[in-house]
Amino acid sequence: MNTKQTITVNEPAIRSSPLDTPLTLTPVDWNNKRLFTLFWPLIAEQLLVVMIGIVDMVMVSSVGEHAVSGISLVETINFLIITAFNAIATGGSVVASQYIGRKDDKNACSSARQLVYIGVIISLILMIFTLIARRFMIRAIFGNIADDVMQAADIYFVFIALSYPFLALYTACAAMFRCMGNSKVPMRTVIFLNIFNIAGNALLIYGLKLGVAGAAISTFAGRILTAAILIYLLVKDKTRLINLCGITKIKFDGSMIKRILNIGIPSSLESSMFQIGKILVTRIFTAFGTAAIAANAVGATINSLAFMPGSGYGMGLLIIVGQCIGAGDYLAAKKYTKKIMFLSYLTYLFINVNIIIFMNPIIGIFNLSQEAHNMCVMFLRVHCITSTLFWCPSFVIPNALKAAGDARYVMIVAGCTMWLVRVCLAYFLAYVIGLGPVAVYLAMGADFLSRGILFMKRWLSNKWIEKKVI
């Protein structure tokens, strides 16, 4: 037995924590240049993804309010389904990142292939279910809606459901590029998708007068193309750290699938519970009139754009911490988590200070009534303060925990705080205390605070070190 092997065998007897262990693998080095190269395309990609849905609604507005309403309803449900793909991709990202950190390229590629297989199977099940139950889903969530709105929603939903397998392929492949530290390829693909979507909408909605169907077909075709581009890039180049060579020789690896789903399923449940809770809380606005609904719609749009940089930081942290843990470098995992949290806070502070300064001109773009405008100002002030203080610990730190394999803890905390804090407190403050619609934003801030405390406590306790993914 050589010297290195002897040290590795004897280490457990003399150490109390992995943090005390000398590295046995090459240390993970994410210098400032590498961090910048990873994060700016991630942030840009998140912003561009949000723009796709906004562009569809703006361009279809010429057809009528029923078209905008129909697309809006479908997108609300669609976001729930997309979270399932993203959650499974999270599981694949954690597994692949840890193998990359361990310098095990063979298993990193194997995890990528298994992620693609899982994503396609789940997407086909969701596609079939949605095509059969789409009208029931719309009425179950939104109640009775006008016939023209239902017709528009039905048409849009058919094409969007058919695109699920291609969306799942894109999500899985984009996750693998990010695991390799190459976030520029997914960003460029989303830029192409935006350009294609705008051109397709112009041709099909304005040129061929296809209305809602035109917007849906354009999105459907765009998802097919972007999935094909990423699959082609990962199959053709065998020299990539992660590639999909041999993807057509389908072979399921039960142990690898289990590793992915051990992260993916809790992440999916967490995201689904979160989105369902948001829908239930949003229904409060309907009780306070059109002005409250419009004010929240504008506030939510502004907030969704503000959230995107934080989402990019979270996705990057998942990859970085995963690689550190795969290499056994727990000290580096803690160091990079602190650094990215600091960057997240700085970015969020900058964004929210500018929203507060330029709030009136920004809201003015949406031509709200004075009552709705004033409500929106109140909503955004509450949100800017609470999110600046509490959003980063509640939504960035969980990605570090997931990267370590602590996804079940994240799921339990997120589910409990969403339902016991945000949902219950929102209804209590709105109806029992009588604070009105601003109660939703106050409850949201309380949710951020409670989540953040529990996640930070978990991270500082080092219990995530005990988890094992690979």
- Rounded to 5°, the CA angle 430-362-149 comes to 65
Show Cβ contacts of residue 21 under 8 Å, excluding neighbours closer than 6 positions.
Answer: 11, 15, 328, 330
Q: What is the pLDDT of residues 334-368, one digit of tens each?
A: 999 999 999 999 999 999 999 999 999 988 887 77
Q: What is the pLDDT of residues 419-446, one digit of tens each?
A: 999 999 999 999 999 999 999 999 999 9
Phi, psi (rounded to 5 degrees) for 312: -65, -45
Q: Tens of pLDDT along the chain (470 residues)?
A: 444 433 333 333 333 455 554 444 555 678 888 899 999 999 888 888 877 767 776 777 677 767 777 787 787 788 778 888 888 999 999 999 999 999 999 999 999 999 999 999 999 999 999 999 988 888 887 777 778 888 988 999 999 999 999 999 999 999 999 999 899 999 999 999 989 989 998 999 888 988 889 989 999 999 999 999 999 999 998 888 899 988 988 899 999 999 999 999 999 888 888 888 888 887 788 788 878 887 887 888 788 878 888 888 999 999 999 999 999 999 999 999 999 999 999 999 999 999 999 999 988 887 778 888 899 999 999 999 999 999 999 999 999 999 999 999 999 999 999 999 999 999 999 999 999 999 999 999 999 999 999 999 999 999 999 888 88
Residue type, 212: V
Q: What is the pLDDT of residue 5?
A: 39
Show Cβ contacts of residue 433 under 8 Å, excluding neighbours closer than 6 positions.
Answer: 439
This prediction has a pTM of 0.84
Q: What is the pLDDT of residues 371-413, one digit of tens each?
A: 888 999 999 999 999 999 999 999 999 999 999 999 999 999 9
